[in-house]
Amino acid sequence: MNSRERVLSVINGRTPDRSPYRVDIGPDLDERLKEVHREDYARQLASDPCQLSQWVRWPNVKYATRGKIGWIDGVLLEDSLDQMDEYPWPDANDPAWYEKVAAGVEANKAEQAVFVMFPAMMHTLDIFRGCDKFFMDVYDEPAKVERLLEKCSAGLEDVARNLCKLDIDVLMVGDDVSTQSALLASPQFLREYIHKYDARYAAIAREAGKKVVYHTDGVIPDALMEILLEDLQIDGIHPMQPTCNDMKEFARKYRDQIFVYGGLDNTHTIPDGSEQQIRDHIKELFDWWGDRIILSSSNIMGQAKLENVMKLPEIVQDICRF
């Protein structure tokens, strides 16, 4: 099997020859690996799924650079929700928005299954108001909140629709709604103000014949899974941090309903563990999830032992065979 066939087997409920994997690394680690391993680096870490990102081009967003990463600096509607009437709402059907992702799809689709993630409603509200202001807005000005949600969602629906016109395999709805130990808000709140809208983007993907993966870092409790399965009708979850979630128990409950795109411990075991610890970790995940997992993570921490990162693909290919 090639990479594409392997990944498509997992996301469609079939058994591949071995588990697919993706090695996710951030810019600091990327630089260290290139400096030390040079030519072996790209070849050794070749990943199974191609993952692309489509950021929504909301005008006037300001970024501050910390290290090598740009972070959003400030909110767009700083003073009040009334500012939304003067805000220059963009045309999310502008073909220029999608040129980079479209080129990535064309370059990779023959050999790799293509996943595209875009930041959805929770992330968008954080850009426009910040979570603290938004939570207060819900109580103070509910009618204006509903108008803001509809304005934001109109653009997000266009983005989802245009991404699904490309030859992608999976639309990843990205919305961090969890901390490392709890949801950011009650399930009822999330359902009404976040996931009601995220369900629209998932429906657009399903209608276009694409699989849907939901992304949130942190804990994924049963209350959230109920929403994701019933309202969004997801096919998979990402990244499923094992430091926050009981992967064995999660597999017992949900293995027959979804696949996991993740599961690797990118904060402790992979960056700092011994080779045997990494092997034991991967073997457990494989035993619990079998042909329903694409072994990945969020970015492996920048301080990681370089030999661990370089060894990771070999370990997966050695252990995770059917």
Which DSSP helix (H) or strand (E) runs through 202? helix 196-207
The domain locations on the chain are: 3-319
Q: Classify domain 3-319 at the CATH topology level.
A: TIM Barrel (3.20.20)
**Measured distance CA(269)–CA(275) in Å, rounded:** 9
How much is the pLDDT for 131?
92
Would you list the DSSP string of 271-313? HHS-HHHHHHHHHHHHHHHGGGEEEE-SPBPTT--HHHHHHHH
What is the model's pLDDT at position 42? Answer: 86
| pLDDT score, position 141 | 97
What was the pLDDT predicted at 201? Answer: 98
Token pair of 272 as six digits: 């700092």
Contact 221, 211 (CB under 8 A): no
- Predicted TM-score (pTM) of the model is 0.96
Q: Is 7 exposed, middle or buried (0-12, 13-18, 19+ CB in 10 A)?
A: buried
Query: pLDDT digits over 161-184, tens only?
Result: 999 999 999 999 999 999 999 999
Tokens 């017992």 — which residue?
252
The angle at the Cα of 111, spanning 110 to 112, to the nearest 5 degrees, equals: 105
**Segments in the chain below pLDDT 70:** none
b/e code 72-105 from CB counts within 10 Å (16+ = b): eeebbbeeebeebeeeeeeebeeeebbeebbebb
Cα–Cα distance measured from residue 252 to residue 213, given in angstroms and rounded to the nearest whole number: 19
Exposed/middle/buried for 295, CB within 10 Å: 0-12, 13-18, 19+?
Answer: buried
Residues 76-131: pLDDT tens digits? 999 999 999 999 999 999 999 999 999 999 999 999 999 999 999 999 999 999 99
| The amino acid at 241 | Q
Give the model's pLDDT for residue 39.
Answer: 82
Query: Per-residue DSSP letters for 50-117?
Result: EEEE-----TT--EEEETTEEEE-S-SS-S-GGGGGTS----TT-GGGGHHHHHHHHHHTTTS-EEEE
- pLDDT at res. 68: 72
**SS3 of residue 45 by DSSP:** coil
